[in-house]
Amino acid sequence: MKSLLYAVTALAVFGLAFWAYRENYATQQVLKETRQLQRDIGAAQVRLGVLKAEWAYLNRPDRLIGLAELNFDRLGLLPLRPDQFGRVDEVAYPPIPALAITGGIDVSGLNATSGGEDQP
């Protein structure tokens, strides 16, 4: 009986060792993927910073004014003036159409022709 207990215990130890071995390598793989994702995120943040700097450089007011003047004949762009702006309360929104009631609906359970009186 003791030998059976020793055999079962040895098998349990081998099983747990195999499970721990697999979990260790699975954890290492996940950590490696996590480090790669963090590197990718860092590279994407650097690219985003470069793109924002390029966008700011290309949208310089003096450059845009020069382009607007250069292409005035083709585009017809004029400089903005303060009187071209408005307030939100000056916007004319279309009125909401009122719903037309075409016929009444009897919700009380009484007959509309009885004048509201109960009939036996």
Question: Residue 68 class from Cβ within 10 Å (0-12 exposed, 13-18 middle, 19+ buried)?
Answer: middle
- Going from N- to C-terminal start, the domains of the chain cover 24-77
- Asked if residues 68 and 75 have their Cβ atoms less than 8 Å apart, the reply is yes
Report the pLDDT averaged over residues 51-74. 91
Q: What is the pLDDT confidence band of residue 112, given thresholds at 50, 70 and 90?
A: low
Residue 88 three-state SS = helix
pLDDT at 111: 56
Does pLDDT of 22 surpass 90? Answer: yes
Q: What is the pLDDT confidence band of residue 84, given thresholds at 50, 70 and 90?
A: confident
Half-sphere exposure of 109 (CA within 13 A, CB side): 2
* 90-107 residue pLDDT tens: 888 888 888 777 777 777
Q: Computed over its alpha carbons, how large is the radius of gyration of the chain?
A: 39
Q: What is the pLDDT confidence band of residue 117, given thresholds at 50, 70 and 90?
A: low
Residues 6+ positions from 108 with CB-CB distance below 8 Å: 116
